[in-house]
Amino acid sequence: MNRPLRINATLLESFRLYRQTEWFDESELIASIKGEFLPTPAIRLGRAYHSCVEQPQLSLAGFYERDGFRFEPKAIDEMRTRILPGGLFEVKTTKTLSIEADDVTLVCKCDHIVGSHIDEFKTSDRFDADRYLASVQWRVMAWLFEASSVGYHVATLAEDDEDDMVRLKGIESMNVFPYAGLEGDCRELVHEFCQYLHTKGLEDYLRKQMGVAV
């Protein structure tokens, strides 16, 4: 008997981007499915930033430092003012679905949750509200966590070449909310992704990842 397919919300978003945009190449999607995707400098920066927001600790020199990136204090401190008191960071949940002949374990992890509200912390060189509104990630989060709202907090960052310090240009926040057809939209995309995996013969890459942390 086949093990369930393990599909996380990030991979589902990559599939949506491949289908709905011109800039996300199929080779990137397949690399992500196979676990071969190499993080870009922008992704590495975002991960370092998120780590500092979750566990802030100033260096003796007076800035935040993580994974080779140095952040001016306000870049982290101002984001932390957007976090509602209480709650937990990095919370994961799953849901098992039956998609034709397959069982699917749908997985998502939120950056921070308090009560029924989720907050996501992102980094970018510019704020594009439509980009986040279109994402399937928040839809999967809202569905699986039964969230009342999801807040995006996007830090616009710039690296200063003079001192290699990452500086904050600004933070934009927006809330998105579940809607009547949200679950149906998510289920339909999962179904289409499973069909794509079958067509390309890629299912086993996601079965082999059972038991591996997302």
- Residue 209 scores a pLDDT above 80: no
Give me the helix-helix angle, 9-20 and 137-145, nearest 10°: 140
- pLDDT over 70, % of the chain: 96
pTM of the model: 0.90
Question: Given the structure tokens 């994402």, which residue do they identify?
Answer: 135
Beta bridge partners of 159: 166
- Coil/strand/helix, residue 59: coil
Contact call for residues 151 and 119 (beta carbons, < 8 A): yes
Q: How many residues can be counted in the chain?
A: 214
Beta bridge partners of 87: none
Q: What is the mean pLDDT of the chain?
A: 92
115-154: per-residue pLDDT in tens?
999 999 999 988 999 999 999 999 999 999 999 999 999 9
User: Which of 186, 73, 105 has its CA nearest to residue 139?
Assistant: 186
**DSSP-derived secondary structure for 67-90:** TTEEE-HHHHHHHHTTSPSS-EEE
Q: What is the CATH number of domain 5-207?
A: 3.90.320
- Residue 1 scores a pLDDT above 60: no
Work out the end-to-end distance of the chain between its first and last CA atoms, rounded to an integer number of angstroms.
23
pLDDT at 47: 95
- Residue 200 scores a pLDDT above 50: yes
pLDDT at 211: 46
